[in-house]
Structure 1
Amino acid sequence: MSLGRLPEHEQHILDEIERSLRRDRRLNRLMRGRRARRGPDWKRVAGRITRCEPRGRTVALLVAVSAALVVTGVVTAAPWAIWVFVTVWPVTLFAAFRLLSRWSGDAGGGGPRRMR
């Protein structure tokens, strides 16, 4: 592929495409409306995290997996088990905290749901 100038007919086609794109108002509006994003939208991430409402089964499963990983890591001294435990344990604690907060009614959830 050459890096030189395009042949005349290809340059003409390219110029026509550019002219039609410049005339497209909707495309211009969309391009002006786009803002350059350099990283994650932390407000949206925080909103998703605070809306986390784990179920009791999920927390029980996370506790069981964490316990199995810590036992595996202690017995075998396998680095993978220790690192997976280090990754899963904070998630387990966070989910358990959210569940207990919801059950106690402190998180604005209104307490445990009762069957009538």
Structure 2
Amino acid sequence: MNRLRPYQREVALAILNSVFGRKGFTFSVEIARQGGKNELSAQLELLLLTLYMAEPQNLVKCAPTFKPQTVISMMRLKDRLNDTGFNGIWAAELGYIIRLGNARAIFLSADESANVVGN
């Protein structure tokens, strides 16, 4: 798995501080093209799914559009899950959810035409 760059680690630590401190912050992360935002996101999602796989917990990730941004994010998370030995353990649901045990990553589009009621 790729090591995070210092600027990625800074973002990761801020997000993890919010999660573990139960602060509930919302984060919007902007990184230049090819700067590793999908890798950062996938590694955070992998960590959180594995830590909470025994509990019914959800993480929600929004992207500007479903295609291609959300689809790319989901593919990257699936790759990281497979890379770390969870192949055959995780499951995709409804085309926008990835489940590991009882924990779910829910991927939504923030596009104004998207219908995300109930999530």
TM range (shorter): under 0.3
Larger helix proportion, structure 1 or 2?
1
Structure 1 length normalisation: TM-score? 0.26
Taking structure 2 as the reference length, the TM-score comes to 0.26
The structure, 1 or 2, with the larger RCO (C-alpha pairs under 8 Å, 6+ apart) is 2
The structure with more radius of gyration: 1
